[in-house]
Amino acid sequence: MAQFTFTNNTYAGEALAGFMASTLLEADSVKRGLLTVINDVKARKVILDVDDNVVLQDPSGIFHDQGTTALQNESYLDPVVYEFMKQEQWDKLIQSWEAQSLKPGAFLDYEGVVDLSDFMVQRYLTKIQIANERLYWLGKGSTKEASFTAAFPGLLPSIAAASGVYKVGLGKPATSMAATSIDATGLVTVSDTSTLADGDVVTITAVTGSSKDTTNGAPGISIQGQSYFIQIASATTFKLVRNYNEVNSRLAATFTGTSTAATVSYINVSNVLSVLGGVYAQLDPADRIQDDFNLQVPLHVGYAFAQAQANKALNVINAFTDMKKMDYLGIPLQIMNHWQANTILGARSSNLFLGVDLLGDASELSTVYMKPYTNDNVVRMKARMKAAVNFKFANEIFYLSA
């Protein structure tokens, strides 16, 4: 039978290259190289933006400056320190390990010494990585795992608010429709649901009324700007089934109050090809030809694109079984699993930055068995992290949203 031990580990200094770096640098988009990582960001770090035009002049034996003024701006990485802390009962932790690792039968019992410190870290590592992924892109306001007080706006909200970014909306007949009512059960009335389907994701804006989302309890949050998976109820109605931010918790959406008007925006199978075509036509050629340029889309847009490819495949064997290539006219489509719905971002990874401080005092991952110190039969884990995100050239970013 297994012998359980607990080693009081504090991962600091060089050891952060293992567990601590995993919490900060193994977020999905970082592993795929969609962000440029800068280490050793201990305080505000300045990212100098220098831009200028090129003027081709007549030949001259005397030097003549081209006469333009180089534009110099500054972006900042302002690191924020935040923590995850968890306490578990010793015997419950052992039971959890046994349930995960041991199989029935005397000959399959685990023999040897099990260090539960690593096990406790590993069981929360993936969730911390997902929380960081959401934090980097969505910011603190849309990351329900984040409850710290410091400001952390996130990349997408910062890009949406920045001047100079090329922004496109979904307020067109093919990608939006007017809602005439939203009742207290989340039933939305529109003129026609024929372009929608079960499982589509819609974003609600321009709301008139008192509708609130109470999925996570009263008093709830305004449905303005929220996105939902839907189910078609009739030719003129559909139901808001689940908040897109609850894709991991799988909680059913609940509501209070009603609304008399709203705008419903969506990217789905019916319009995804035209949306991507419009995006492609508006991209700056100087950006889209770069090797590190990507179009980043949420999971539901990637699904819609794959389905549309299958629907368009005439006389193709296995059109609905073969995996579809995720690029559009040669530009890679990066599917973002924990992202903002009905959003497309065109950017170079060298223009999006993540600052961390892996070897600083503010980064720590520790596990402690408390019984030798307080006689409490509990285990405590603490992960302290430090991160910041920002972009450099706003005029080299394309942003489409509801």
pLDDT (tens digit, 9 = 90+) per residue, 112-156? Answer: 556 677 777 778 888 888 899 999 999 998 898 899 999 999 999
- Does residue 284 contact residue 397 with C-beta atoms inside 8 Å? no
DSSP 312-358: H-TT-TTTTTSPPP-EETTEEEEEESS--TT-EEEEEGGGEEEEE-T
Helix, coil or strand: residue 368: strand
Cα separation values, 180 from 163, 207, 235, 240, 364, Å = 33, 10, 14, 15, 52
Q: For residue 37, what are the contacts with CB-CB under 8 A and spacing of at least 6?
A: 25, 30, 353, 354, 355, 356
Domain ranges of the chain: 11-51+77-153+355-387, 176-266
pLDDT of residue 17: 46
DSSP type of residue 162:
-
Kindly state the average pLDDT of the residues 229-242. 97
Task: Give yes or no for residue 104 having a pLDDT over 70.
Answer: no
Nearest to 387 by CA among 114, 174, 81, 145: 81
Q: Is the peptide bond before 219 cis (omega within 30 degrees of 0)?
A: yes
What the block records as the tokens of 328 is: 């559009």
DSSP type of residue 13:
G
Distance from C-alpha of 143 to C-alpha of 306, rounded to nearest angstrom: 28
pLDDT of residue 341: 96
- Does residue 369 contact residue 331 with C-beta atoms inside 8 Å? no
pLDDT of residue 158: 96
Nearest to 27 by CA among 158, 151, 154: 154
Kindly state the average pLDDT of the residues 293-301. 95
Task: Give yes or no for residue 86 having a pLDDT over 70.
Answer: yes
Q: Provide φ and ψ at 88, rounded to 5°.
A: -130, 150
Distance from C-alpha of 167 to C-alpha of 171, rounded to nearest angstrom: 12
What fold is seen in the domain 176-266?
Answer: Elongation Factor Tu (Ef-tu); domain 3 (2.40.30)
Distance from C-alpha of 352 to C-alpha of 397, rounded to nearest angstrom: 10
What the block records as the tokens of 121 is: 């870290």
Alpha-helical segments (H) within 142-261? 155-161
- How wide is the angle at C-alpha 335 spanned by C-alphas 347 and 188, nearest 5°? 105
pLDDT of residue 12: 46
| Residue 68 vs residue 225, higher pLDDT | 225
Query: Which range (52-61, 279-288, 293-302) has the least confidence?
Result: 52-61
Q: Are strands 166-169 and 398-401 parallel, antiparallel or unpaired?
A: parallel
Give the number of residues written for the chain.
402
Nearest to 216 by CA among 127, 140, 145, 266: 145
Q: Are strands 80-89 and 378-391 parallel, antiparallel or unpaired?
A: antiparallel
Element (H or E) spanning 90, and its range?
Answer: helix 90-101
Distance from C-alpha of 167 to C-alpha of 159, rounded to nearest angstrom: 9
Band of pLDDT at residue 9, cut at 50, 70 and 90: low
Nearest to 152 by CA among 219, 61, 90, 82: 82
